[in-house]
Amino acid sequence: MPRVKLTVAYDGTEFHGWQRQEPPNAPALRTVQGVLQEVVATFVREPIVLMGASRTDAGVHAKGQVAAFTAESFRVPVERIPFALNARLPRDVQVRHAEIVAPNFNPISDAKSKCYRYIIEHLGPPHHAAPLFDRDFVFTTPHALSLAAMQHAASQLVGTHDFEAFAQVSHGRETTVRTIFSCHVRMIAPRRFAVEVSGNGFLYNMVRILAGTLVDVGRGHLDGNSIPAIITSKDRRQAGTTLPPQGLCLEWIHYGVPAEVIDS
């Protein structure tokens, strides 16, 4: 039976995250996995299990989520699968690419590196109105931010560390040691910054906490030189705030040699 790998993009605004959720005695919540699995099952005309690489939270977006399923057969060449699925999917989720992979391909355990991007816009001074049309894709702060201070702090996050201080307390993982391959803060528009971080894996809310810590550094609330001490403390209270989900996007997942962040 062929196993198919999908690269999936979605606007997470109206989803309760990636993972299928079926509360007892209540209708299933609208999730990306739930919507996509139903459409794929209809397409291949058989029940399937769709496995996703990253369990993004409600409101988080993706350009390069990876999912896989196994089916007895399908009616079109694999390169036509995205077109066939997109014709059936809602407008806020899209299959970008499809390919046949090894029968034992696991999108979670086979991943070597992931990249997330968090978009931040500060509103002054002088004061500027908050973004309107892309408000579901950017976090705004009234505080002016120092790009140089944030860049310096970001560089200190690179390496293999115990990131317990940058994880939600109820993260549920056996180990909090992760490797950050790169962490950059770039100005992408006036007053708008992108925090781009790639690593071999991330803890629950880790990127949102990293971004919140960098915002606290940028506004002068935290000393940028305190990052190593925060890491060593393993104390969530020492790191910055957890930023909201809408500024976060899963950019890509690589299955070969770990790669540096690439611009989307």
Instruction: Return the number of other C-beta atoms located less than 10 Å from residue 22's C-beta.
Output: 10
How far is the CA of 62 from the CAs of 26, 58, 162, in angstroms? 27, 11, 26
Q: Which residues pair with 144 in a beta bridge?
A: none
Which member of 57, 92, 110, 136 is catalytic? 57
Please give the backbone phi and psi of residue 9, each rounded to the nearest 5 degrees, phi first. Answer: -120, 150
Q: Among this protein's residues, is 136 annotated catalytic?
A: no
How far is the CA of 4 from the CAs of 69, 77, 84, 85, 258, in angstroms? 6, 11, 14, 13, 22
Rounded CA-CA distance 202/168 in Å is 11
What's the burial of 141, exposed, middle or buried (CB within 10 Å: 0-12/13-18/19+)?
Answer: middle
The H or E element spanning position 253 is strand 248-254
For the chain, the first-to-last Cα distance in angstroms comes to 34
| Buried-state track 54-69, b at ≥16 Cβ within 10 A, e below 16 | bebbbbbbbbbbbbbb
Q: What is the dihedral of CA 147, 149, 150, 154, to 10 degrees?
A: 140
- Active site residue ranges: 57
